[in-house]
Structure 1
Amino acid sequence: MGQKPSVGRVVHYVSCGTPGGEYTSECRAAIVAEVDEYQPGEGRFIGHVNLCVLNPKGVFFDAGVLQDEEHRRGGTWHWPERV
């Protein structure tokens, strides 16, 4: 089974970017503020987390964010890559 998110863990939030392409979708550091639901399944977390997202121009909060390790779509979170 994969890692379980918990309050205080650092994850990557994928920004949505803008429709016109002025800003691209990028990974941002985020801290898990709350775990809404936890259901183990398919070796990964299934459910939502609430995040405090750290952005170079400020901080914002996003609630009900889904995990997406495979496609990493805008508006989702994933575990940081190991480097």
Structure 2
Amino acid sequence: MAAQPTPSVGRIVHYVSYGTPGGEYTKECRAAIVTETHGADSLGDVVSLAVLNPRGLFFAERCAEGGQLHGEDPSAAYGGTWHWPERV
């Protein structure tokens, strides 16, 4: 598998929303734009994001890189993380 690119300001990524404790809303991938980079930690690259939701914008600071939702069990993905969009 090819190495992933390094995130930079302006790149499009996917943000994984948290969902709600009662299950009214599930975890979802949302389009997001990298607004700031913070280097890497033990889990991967850390970035700040402008998240594009159907009903508005959300700003998430210091999000760690996480697993993808697509092709995996959604309950296994951590809310509040980001990943590179899948190639289609």
Q: What TM bracket, shorter-length normalisation?
A: 0.7 to 0.9
Identity of aligned residues (%): 57
Note the residue ranges of structure 1 that are not aligned, 5 or more in a row.
Answer: none
Q: TM-score, normalised by structure 2?
A: 0.80
Note the residue ranges of structure 2 that are not aligned, 5 or more in a row.
Answer: 69-75
Q: TM-score, normalised by structure 1?
A: 0.85
Give, in angstroms, the shift of residue 19 of structure 1.
Answer: 0.2
Give, in angstroms, the shift of residue 47 of structure 1.
Answer: 3.3
Q: How many aligned positions are there?
A: 79
RMSD (Å) for aligned C-alpha atoms:
1.9
Question: Does 1:68 find its partner at 2:66?
Answer: yes
Instruction: Measure the CA separation in 2 of the matches of 1:58 and 1:76.
Output: 19
Question: Does 1:49 find its partner at 2:47?
Answer: yes
Question: Does 1:79 find its partner at 2:84?
Answer: yes
Q: Check the 8 A contact 1:15/1:75 in 2, yes or no.
A: yes
Instruction: Measure the CA separation in 2 of the matches of 1:53 and 1:19.
Output: 21
| 1:11 match: secondary structure | strand
Give, in angstroms, the shift of residue 73 of structure 1.
Answer: 1.5
Alignment correspondent of 1:8: 10
Query: Which residue identity does 2:45 align to in structure 1?
Result: G
Instruction: Measure the CA separation in 2 of the matches of 1:34 and 1:23.
Output: 28
Give, in angstroms, the shift of residue 64 of structure 1.
Answer: 0.7
